[in-house]
């Protein structure tokens, strides 16, 4: 595993967790392609974002909505300029004080040291239940 790529991955999560968005922007390619599968009805700042300005604006909104954000990599695998990361995410919603803890998988592609592509798969049911503060009854019959 290239130490420099592993270090770069940690730097991305450290900057984001700390809210150092200017530092984070310096790690992004101008045309970064960002995609998170999180439900946009609950997390409207996620979904698909193209370009450094759009992605940083979304990250700024995340920090406005949540405090005490922590993205802690549990497992990292790298190959050339790509990385797969399993992480533990912890965030406190400012408006309610609710703490959310869930897992996510991120797939990152770097080019010349800059992040050019970001894909995120979030345990979205768990995240939504915790952020909204309610459980969903998945055994209830579906209406069609």
Domains of the chain and any CATH numbers? 3-132 (3.10.450.50)
Largest CA distance in the chain: 52
Kindly indicate the confidence band of residue 101, based on its pLDDT and cuts at 50, 70 and 90: confident
Torsion, CA 99, CA 101, CA 105, CA 109, rounded to 10? 40
Per-residue pLDDT at 124: 56
Pair 122, 102: CB distance under 8 Å: yes
Closest by Cα among 77, 109, 76, 74 to 90: 74
Kindly report, residue by residue over 55-100, the tens digit of the pLDDT: 999 999 999 988 888 999 999 999 999 999 999 988 888 988 888 8
Closest by Cα among 113, 25, 36, 105 to 71: 105
**Predicted confidence (pLDDT) at residue 139 exceeds the cutoff of 60:** no
Per-residue pLDDT at 138: 47
Q: Is 123 helix (H, G, I), strand (E, B) or coil?
A: coil
């Amino acid at each position: 595993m290239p130490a420099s790529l592993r270090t770069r991955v940690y730097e991305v999560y450290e900057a984001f967790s700390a809210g150092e968005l200017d530092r984070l922007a310096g790690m992004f390619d101008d045309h970064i392609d960002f995609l998170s599968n999180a439900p946009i009805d609950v997390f409207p700042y996620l979904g698909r974002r193209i370009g450094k300005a759009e992605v940083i604006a979304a990250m700024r909104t995340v920090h406005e909505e949540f405090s005490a954000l922590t993205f802690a990599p549990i497992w990292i695998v790298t190959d050339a300029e790509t990385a797969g990361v399993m992480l533990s995410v912890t965030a406190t919603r400012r408006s309610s004080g609710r703490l959310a803890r869930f897992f996510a998988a991120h797939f990152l592609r770097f080019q010349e040291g800059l992040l050019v592509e970001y894909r995120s798969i979030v345990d979205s049911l768990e995240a939504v239940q915790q952020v909204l503060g309610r459980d969903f009854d998945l055994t209830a019959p579906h209406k069609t």
